[in-house]
A and B are shown apart, each in its own frame.
Chain A
């Protein structure tokens, strides 16, 4: 058990000897939009072939974290980090041109907004093919064949016909599957998926999760999955990070998190889940009274303290990050307090 003040950067040897760096390593990521701190020092890492789920209530900074990794934040956002690396490469040091060589090819993202994320002016086939020809070259014909193949694999019937259709001719569920297939066009190493299956019915969702698991096994795909669905988390996550008000308040291997949730916020989230694995689909997260507060820059202390049953005066001060093996918690409460 080590306890460190999270204000100070974590101690590191100057030249960490590494054989194979993690696929994605984020340390102390901060994103601010003017007077709003959307992400406040989030850290996590993802190994090749691993599925890392990020959960948390609406507005706690999950999407902003994902966009910050991809370098796709809206204008006016400020991003800072102690470390932001993809396969050992510092993403902050890359030019827009170098970054665009990675995006779509080695790292891909599925957005939370399936209805508006496809260009209304181009066919599904044209939009899927262009990402392949951009990174892999080859003929448009070959790219379209690959697109049809992937559409079939995400459970779309008559993929050849769909390739010629425009986004407005497709339902929300179909658009979401097109986005998923499009992200997989170049066999990425990292897939960031922001609520990728919300518009899909259970069978299709299961088919997509199976497809992702297959790609993970065959190609070592690493997946950063943002979801509200604890059923999915229980089924596919290797590791779970719980975000609250821009911070990762708890992070642990899935089984450990479900077995011994240690942050009061995590316990609140899981309270609506009687038995892991027997979760109702799209179970509402956050049956906790109150709302995620807007955090101004320079805020100190635990952001959850106003809603926490265990709040104490010291919660307004610096919060210790406690670590027991792979289980990390950002809370002053002693480990095992809930047992």
Chain B
């Protein structure tokens, strides 16, 4: 297991390095930064001053090494717009996004795993069909629309939940539910198909022949094998939730990283954009690695690979 973990870590570091290079190149290749920063109506002299001030006149490799070296220790420089350290900005916003993403994932798993198991155990019955229908409807529902419906119903009409802000855990319930909805269809379907496959396998027949309890057959023997694709996709979904929650952060006025990214893109705040992209990519890599490790724990055959 240790060798397996180290190998995964090495791969993750390599990918991280590639992502850093790409995210650096993307901002540099998308036009002359100094001109964008100076804005429309700036004189060539202004642009030249800005170019020197931000070190944009130096060779690309030097710029990259400089940036990467500082980024590696968490120093992304200053925001052009917010007049604050980029690292401070991200550190302020990250807890909101993480809380939202983890809430969304927890709700999604809490709903889709039992539903998937239920559908698999009752395969081809009306229960199964109902679950699949719910999953399909969930997939078709746009999240901003669901967000608004929830806000109107639970926030305005019933007054049960706050509709915006981040003051308490209650603020995360509705956005968490909306975020979860985007992951529930895929996770339910995967749990269902994994469980159906596992339940039809010879080792489940063995477990039944051993007279094991239903709980042990479903929860210990079948679910453990069915969980592997679910873990992989859950990691990907959490990645989406962290990086792609801009719509939901906007609808519910949660000032997280997604909202920050949106603001800084519209303001040409390149250091922030670059840092957000990099941090999210690193989180994504870490999630994938965590999923691989978890699957290695679940299935010993994967450790050998």
Contact = CB atoms under 8 A, between A and B. Distances in A.
Interface string A110-144: 01010011111110000000110011000000000
A96 B208 CA distance: 10
Given A100-B213, A134-B213, A168-B300, A72 B203 contact: no
Given A113-B202, A119-B225, A103 B209 contact: yes
Contacts of A320: none
B192 to A, nearest CB: 15
Contacts of A130: 210, 212, 216
B209 A109 contact: yes
B203 A119 contact: yes
Nearest to A106: B211
A147 interface: no
A108 interface: yes
Contacts of B200: 74-75
A287 B210 CA distance: 37
A104 B212 contact: yes
A81 interface: no
Contacts, number: 78
B224 interface: yes
A101 interface: yes
B206 A117 contact: yes
B293 to A, nearest CB: 15
A273 interface: no
Contacts of A108: 209
A105 interface: yes
Contacts of B298: 121
A116 B304 CA distance: 19
Nearest to B206: A117
Given A111-B202, A111-B205, A120 B211 contact: no
B207 interface: yes
B153 interface: no
Nearest to A120: B301
Interface string A288-311: 000000000000000000000000
Interface string B104-129: 00000000000000000001000000
B203 A120 contact: yes
Contacts of B216: 130, 134
Interface residues of A, number: 31
Interface string B254-296: 0000000000000000000000000000000000000000000
Nearest to A121: B224
Given A108-B209, A119-B221, A166 B300 contact: yes
B299 interface: yes
B197 interface: no
B224 A72 contact: no
A102 interface: yes
Given A166-B301, A168-B300, A119 B207 contact: yes
A33 B161 CA distance: 54
B203 A105 contact: no
Contact of B211 (A75, A102, A119, A168): A102
Contacts of B213: 100, 134
A120 B301 CA distance: 8
Nearest to A114: B202
B298 to A, nearest CB: 6
B201 interface: yes
Contacts of B301: 120, 166, 168
Contacts of B205: 72, 111, 117
B211 A100 contact: yes
A134 to B, nearest CB: 6
Most buried by B among A74, A122, A135: A122
A100 B208 contact: yes
Interface of B: 123, 200-203, 205-214, 216, 221, 224-225, 298-301, 304
Given A116-B203, A121-B298, A131-B212, 19 more contacts: A72-B205, A75-B123, A100-B208, A101-B211, A102-B211, A103-B210, A108-B209, A117-B202, A119-B221, A119-B224, A120-B203, A120-B225, A121-B221, A122-B224, A131-B211, A134-B211, A134-B213, A166-B300, A168-B304
What 3 A-B pairs come out closest when comparing CB atoms? A104-B211, A104-B210, A103-B211
8 contacts: A101-B211, A117-B206, A120-B203, A121-B221, A122-B221, A135-B211, A168-B301, A182-B210
Interface of A: 70, 72, 74-75, 96, 99-105, 108-109, 111, 113, 116-122, 130-131, 134-135, 166, 168, 179, 182
